[in-house]
Amino acid sequence: MNEFKVIKNYLQKLTKNNPSALMLNDDVFFDKRSKIVLSVDTYNEKVHYLNFQNPGLLIKKIIRSSISDLICKGVKPKYIFISASANKKSFNKKNLKLISKSIKEEQKKFNIKLSGGDTTNSKITSFTIVSLGLSKKIVRRNNVSIDDDIYVTGNLGDSFMGLEVLKNKIKATNNIKNYFIKKYFLPNIPISLSGYLHNFAKSSIDISDGLFDDLNKLINNKKIGYIINANKIPISKNLKNYLSVNSKNILKFVSKGDDYQILFTSSKNRRNYIKKLSKRINVKITQIGSTTNIKNQRTIIKDKKQLKSINFKGYSHEF
């Protein structure tokens, strides 16, 4: 049983009298009266990350992936709370200094404030992050319409490449390896777009589990399909070169997640606005496809062939 079936079968029914929980279907809690928008994420060693060898970089990745839940809702994060479980070896003075330094740098970069948390003893490391922002409204996940444009920000696939490098599965020069490792630990989350998202996005989600898995979450159970043009999916020059030299399929690399870019849909009449905004705030935004009126049409066009997105599954926790 995966995490989504656990939520649907056992937990959703417990929130029927709590509209702010959004039926546990939107990665955030949103209370209109208080304007509170809140997300909670847990990261476990050997599940969400390989090990604790780079604590300074790791805490940055964890913070960025956590506040990404708010950013993709059009909300700027304001406060974070960090709970950490570790042992003496992991939380030695050297590592704690690195963690403290990194948190300070992230606070400055994203204008967020560390505001509380907890620490406990554990055999392996684990972090739980609560991210909190204030907003009158959010961009919901399941507000997709037929004939919407589908967009993504930034580039996809670099983080998965970084993970493959860390697993020693990629052969490349040290410069290329270091590039992908950096992208793995330091995702370039598009926080400057969050203040504008309400102006054009009808639905949105951050890409944590993979492009196609997260796109399916946007569509959910609506009688809507989509067509994605694989040639339009944005990737970095380094990833493009690697795929070309090694004859690899781009779809495998963009479907694994951990990108923390924004995937959103918008009406066609907002194309010009989005294009101009992208240049003005220097955030890469790419239209990669559109929604259709065919419920089960979840199709990728690549090299004049039609492929089913279900063949490129992302990450899912299994119990």
Q: 135-168: per-residue pLDDT in tens?
A: 999 999 989 999 999 999 999 999 999 999 999 9
Residue 318: pLDDT band (50, 70, 90) is low
- What are the structural domains of the chain? 3-134 (3.30.1330.10), 149-311 (3.90.650.10)
Give the per-residue pLDDT at 319.
Answer: 59
Task: Give percent above pLDDT 70 in the chain.
Answer: 98
Give the per-residue pLDDT at 308.
Answer: 75
Give the per-residue pLDDT at 110.
Answer: 98
Residues 257-300: tens digit of each pLDDT:
999 999 999 999 999 999 999 999 999 999 999 999 988 788 89
Q: Are 179 and 242 in contact (CB under 8 A)?
A: no
Residues 38-55: tens digit of each pLDDT:
999 999 999 999 999 999
HEC states along 206-269?
A: ECCCCHHHHHHHHHCCCCCEEEEEHHHCCCCHHHHHHHHHHCCCHHHHHCCCCCCCEEEEECHH
Report CA torsion sign: 142, 74, 100, 177: positive
Residue 317: pLDDT band (50, 70, 90) is low
Rounded mean pLDDT, 179-198: 97
Query: 143: how many CB neighbours lie within 10 A of its CB?
Result: 14
Chain mean pLDDT for the chain = 94
Rounded mean pLDDT, 8-16: 91
Q: Are 15 and 21 in contact (CB under 8 A)?
A: yes
Residue 101: pLDDT band (50, 70, 90) is very high
For residue 300, which phi and psi values (nearest 5 degrees)? -115, 130
pLDDT at position 316 over 80: no
